[in-house]
Amino acid sequence: MIPMDFSYWRTETAEEAVAVYQQLADDGQHPVYYAGGTEVVTRARLGALTPGAVIDVKAIPEARRLGRDGGCWHVGAALSLADLIHDGAWPLLARVAERVADHTTRSHITLGGNLAGTIAYREAALPFWLADADVATVGPHGRRTARFRDRFDGTLALDPGELVVSLSVPDGVRQQPSYAQKATRLDYVDYPLVTIAALRGAEGQVHVALSGLKPEPFRSAALDAALIGSGSSADRAGRAARHLPATLVEDLHGTADYRRFVAQTVLADALTALEGP
């Protein structure tokens, strides 16, 4: 529970949610959007978040959308990670999502919350980043659709009060060969040393996105380019590892050097899985 008094608002459309947010913000109530609630509740319990109002967006139909339309596959931001795993229509997204937190928590964490929240890893972003997805938002200045890569550079850039509604990928992307792996220090359910998502594009090149190495997810055109060429998977992974960030996260889960070693290993595993040794 949230250990403070707040007003509760349930909205039926994205535009209504944004209008309510603006009104409450103007009244000084510090509103927050609420779908799964995992981060809102946790941060409120710790005193890191003190909302005067909560705007429930779970009933917005387009934020619950899941399916094909117009050559694209659409995913509502209010769907839980468990919903996406159960659907399984995009194997890469399902494999990444099934390693986020534990089973019970995945039933509450939403796609939009994982992308736009304050928890650093944002692993659900990796498949959409690789697939050149579109992201649809509604904010104070209206509805907007943009390339995910233009709005996401480790964190999703949103204006105050802007709500993530849905994401979409070209339908054919879901069938492209892909690979996902999460390496942890000890337990199966743990924060990642490295999480990798890899997608072999129509041109045959392997593209990768990584989480756990920095305080935010990481992609690099130079790293992707280093994966091309002759040599074994291990050789090419070694070349690519030179393009990892110079400064990596160092904490109780692993040193920077160990993370670099694990990253090189999972890069080689991805190449082997998608291309052969």
Domains of the chain are 7-56 (3.30.43.10), 61-173 (3.30.465.10), 176-275 (3.30.390.50)
**The predicted structure's pLDDT at residue 38:** 83
Tokens of 128: 């959409």
Tokens of 145: 């659709």
The strand pairing partners of 3, in sequence order, are none
Q: Is the pLDDT of residue 118 over 90?
A: no
Q: What percent of the chain has pLDDT over 70?
A: 99
Whose tokens are 């220090």? That residue is 185
Euclidean distance between CA atoms 193 and 264, whole angstroms:
12
**The predicted structure's pLDDT at residue 1:** 62
**The predicted structure's pLDDT at residue 3:** 76
| 84-88, 154-158, 167-171, 261-265: least confidently modelled range | 154-158
**Mind listing the pLDDT tens digit for each residue in 236-259?**
999 999 999 999 999 999 999 999
In this structure, what DSSP letter does residue 249 have? -
**Mind listing the pLDDT tens digit for each residue in 95-115?**
999 999 999 999 999 999 999
Euclidean distance between CA atoms 92 and 136, whole angstroms:
21
Euclidean distance between CA atoms 227 and 241, whole angstroms:
9
Euclidean distance between CA atoms 177 and 171, whole angstroms:
13
**Mind listing the pLDDT tens digit for each residue in 173-228?**
999 999 999 999 988 888 899 999 999 998 899 999 999 999 999 999 999 999 99
pTM score above 0.85: yes
